[in-house]
Amino acid sequence: MDSPYLEVISYVERLHRQFLEVVKLELERWGIHDINNVQAMMLFNIGDAEMTVGELTLRGCYLGSNVSYNVKKLVENEYLAHERSVHDRRSIHVRLTEKGLKLRESLSAMHQRHIEMLSPTAVSTDDLQAAGVTLRRLERLLAPRRRLSAATAAACNGFFALGAASFRLMYDLRPVTDG
């Protein structure tokens, strides 16, 4: 690739896929077959919090329809509990069940093993911190802006959501007119 920007985007995409493959293999090793790797990472990212489905969409790299489907599956398989908001009946709050908390603990242990595996490698804490700073800058560049249409903003919910709308965002940053 002739552009460091495109090379980094490509690495991030590959790293994300490889990470999800590692999570899939861990789930198989643990004998867990009623949840997929993306759903497991959603659980991990929810953590101890209670949040709405909309907040999940805004916080992560999840597209709206995928969040709804995955939340439905996580509730069906008893990893998540859900209830409608008392104040806004359209809003659904989710939190981890005991089963979800146990899986999150296992995922935390997996992450800890990965962290411990870094020490003998050439990847230092400083390297990771520098990479994090750079990726946050790129995320801000690609994040939805107020001047974008609501449809484009809804389609671009995070750095990893590099679908067609994200490419539009990357290459066409013209302000949206109200007319």
pLDDT computed for residue 60 by the predictor: 66
**Fold topology of 4-121:** Arc Repressor Mutant, subunit A (1.10.10)
User: Mean pLDDT for the chain?
Assistant: 79
pLDDT computed for residue 146 by the predictor: 40
pLDDT computed for residue 178 by the predictor: 40
pLDDT computed for residue 140 by the predictor: 87
Over residues 136-162, the mean pLDDT reads 57
pLDDT computed for residue 16 by the predictor: 92
Q: Which pLDDT tens digit goes with each residue over 25-41?
A: 999 999 999 999 999 99
Helix (H, G, I), strand (E, B) or coil at 148: coil
Q: Which positions ≥6 away from 39 have C-beta within 8 Å?
A: 70, 73, 74, 79
Model confidence band, residue 54 (pLDDT cutoffs 50, 70, 90) = confident
Model confidence band, residue 112 (pLDDT cutoffs 50, 70, 90) = very high
How far is CA 31 from each of CA 25, 74, 103, 140, 167, rounded to the nearest angstrom? 10, 17, 12, 38, 38
